[in-house]
Amino acid sequence: MKARKGKGLFVFCCLAPAAILFIVFMIIPTFDIFRMSLFKWGGYTDEKMFVGFDNFKTLFQSDKFYQAFQNSVLLIVVVTLVTFTMALVFAYILSREKLKGQTFFRVIFYIPNILSVVVISAIFSAIYDPNTGLLNSILNLLRGAEDPILWLGNQKIVIYSIVIAMVWQAIGYYMVMYMASMASVPESLYESASLEGAGKIRQFFSITIPLIWTNIRTTLTFFVISTINMSFLLVKAMTNGGPDGASNVFLSYMYQEAYTNSSYGYGMAIGVMVFMFSFILAAVLNAATKRPEVEF
């Protein structure tokens, strides 16, 4: 009995600090966001006015919110599809094909992941520069002297310019993760498939993908949720939501309203919507990607 109590006390002492920190810095602030979304408050004074769900009514009538919502969904869908497709293909090629300098390619692909968001933003801002940027310089060589393309100043293409930066930043990390998973797939399975006449593409979809699906499923949920945060960081550093809000995403719009326009209560209402959207999205992804585990 004493041994049980001693063991229970030891486990409690180990878990208590982490639990306290989680409650103080995660649970309480989350509930506070819900509470503050019901008030009209500038954020810098003691004057708070309870307005109920008025902030949410204003939110659903705002074209800027729908623009930010549309941009966030577009980034989640496009960036996820492109990143995971390329990461899986590159990981398969570097794992299965005998290429010279495989280690070199792994390092080159992984480097963008260790760079800070500020550095990545500076690199792509320089590439997209309308006058001296690398991208416009190459296009001018191919098509002759024409008006420069405003990659970060055109409302129609600015969000796609951010897509490229996000894909470039993330692809190497997930490629390395999938290479590690693919390394655990027995070579005998590929040899048997080859004897049966299965080509590389068939082996990829029939052997590799099913056997590493658990890893793909986990990283997919993590990546989609983290895209919401990463998109804010890149938008804030590269465009600050411009031009005219065309590149705003969930969190950049929330930041502008809460801290720039002094509408803290309204900003917290946006935060509530982001929380609910992330929670629902994670649940849908888990349900949609669930399948029986394949063992070997």
pLDDT per residue as tens digits for the range 194-243: 888 888 889 888 888 988 998 898 899 889 888 998 999 999 999 988 88
Q: Which one-letter amino acid corresponds to residue 70?
A: Q
Percentage of the chain exceeding pLDDT 90: 34
Mean of the pLDDT values across residues 256-279?
Answer: 88
β-partners of residue 36 are: none
d(CA 182, CA 296): 13
- Say how many C-beta atoms besides its own lie within 10 A of residue 105's C-beta: 16
Reported confidence tier of residue 127, pLDDT bands at 50, 70, 90: very high
Cα–Cα dist 219/282, whole Å: 12
Confidence bin at 186 (pLDDT 50/70/90): confident
**55-83 residue pLDDT tens:** 999 999 999 999 999 999 999 999 999 99
- Which pLDDT score, from 0 to 100, does residue 294 have? 63
Confidence check: pLDDT of 99 > 60: yes
Whether CATH 2.40.10.10 fits 30-288:
no
- Average pLDDT of the segment spanning 287-296: 74
Q: What is the pLDDT of residue 232?
A: 92
Mean pLDDT across the chain: 87
- Alpha-carbon gap, residue 13 to 23, rounded angstroms: 16
- Residue 180 corresponds to which amino acid? A
Q: Are 265 and 51 in contact (CB under 8 A)?
A: yes
In angstroms, rounded to a whole number, what is the distance separating the alpha carbons of residues 253 and 59? 11
Locate the domains of the chain by residue range.
30-288
Which DSSP symbol is given to 212?
T
Cα separation of 50 and 207, whole Å?
Answer: 58
Of 76, 51, 43, residue with least CA distance to 262? 43
From first CA to last CA, the distance across the chain in angstroms is: 43
Percent of the chain residues past pLDDT 70, beyond the cut: 96
pLDDT for 296 beyond 60: no
Determine the pLDDT at residue 65.
Answer: 93
The SS3 call for residue 230 is helix
Q: What is the pTM of this model?
A: 0.88
Q: How far is CA 97 from the centre of its chain?
A: 29
Beta carbons of 83 and 226 less than 8 angstroms apart: no
Q: What is the pLDDT of residues 240-267, one digit of tens each?
A: 888 888 999 999 999 998 888 778 899 9
Of the listed ranges 34-38, 108-112, 259-263, the one predicted with least confidence: 259-263
CB of 110 closer than 8 Å to CB of 174: no
Q: How confident is the model at residue 2 (pLDDT cuts 50, 70, 90)?
A: low
Which of the given ranges, 164-173, 181-190, 257-266, has the highest pLDDT on average? Answer: 164-173
Residue 227: helix, strand or coil by DSSP?
helix
192 has pLDDT over 70: yes
Q: What's residue 180's pLDDT?
A: 86
The CB density around residue 24, as the number of other CB atoms within 10 Å, is: 10
Count other Cβ atoms within 10 Å, centred on residue 119: 13
- CB distance 40 to 257 below 8 Å: no
Task: Say whether pLDDT at 145 is over 90.
Answer: no
Is the pLDDT at 272 greater than 90, yes or no? Answer: yes
